Amino acid sequence: MISEETSAKVRYALESVVTNGTGRPAFIDGYRVGGKTGTAQKVKDGSYMVGNYIVSFMGFLPADDPQVVVYVAVDNAKGVTQYGGTIAAPIAKKILQDSITALGISKREGSSEKEYQYGEKKYYTVPDVVGKTVKDAVEELKPFKVEYTGSGDEVLYQSPASGERILEGETVRLLLND
């Protein structure tokens, strides 16, 4: 048996694999996800096979109080770069997202901050633009695609609501006065 202190350190290290390591494709904004990728070259008749791997990802959440554990292994994926982070982690992410919904797991504070890499989409917090002019609202919503209904100049309603975190380029819908 390991101590709670050691367990916390290991969970923190595995959370950093997801926020800033090879498990980045399993990152879920607002949730503390931990995990570890795996890439194993297969052996036949005592020799390593060329281009034949088993790739895997083991993930869990919330990292500070695990309630869900998932293991995904893919044997000899074809037509893709064979790494656990690129193949198995995105599959595990979908399972973990479904688990969040099914089990009603709440978002957590205190996760490791994700360091974004070039070309990677970022999460942004949606600002409150209700009551603002369309021009001001569109300016504040620069990281997002904006769609609106109505012909007026004042925002009456927005979706998603202010405070939600969504990926850059996702759509924020505005209802304008007539």
Q: The domain spanning residue 163 has which CATH number?
A: 3.30.10.20
The predicted model gives 60-73 an average pLDDT of 95
Higher pLDDT, 80 or 51: 51
Q: What is the CATH number of the domain that holds 14?
A: 3.40.710.10
Predicted confidence (pLDDT) per residue in 109-164, tens digit: 766 666 666 677 777 889 999 999 999 999 999 989 999 898 889 999 999 988 88
Based on its alpha-carbon atoms, the radius of gyration of the chain, rounded to whole angstroms, reads 21
Q: How many domains does the chain have?
A: 2
pTM for this entry: 0.67
Q: Which domain holds residue 164?
A: 123-176
Q: Is residue 69 part of a domain?
A: yes
Same domain, 58 and 146: no
Amino acid at 53: Y
The verdict on 59 and 8 lying in the same domain is yes
Q: What's the pLDDT at 162?
A: 87
pLDDT of residue 15: 93
Question: pLDDT of 85-116, one tens digit each?
Answer: 999 999 999 999 999 999 999 887 766 666 66
For the chain, the average pLDDT equals 89
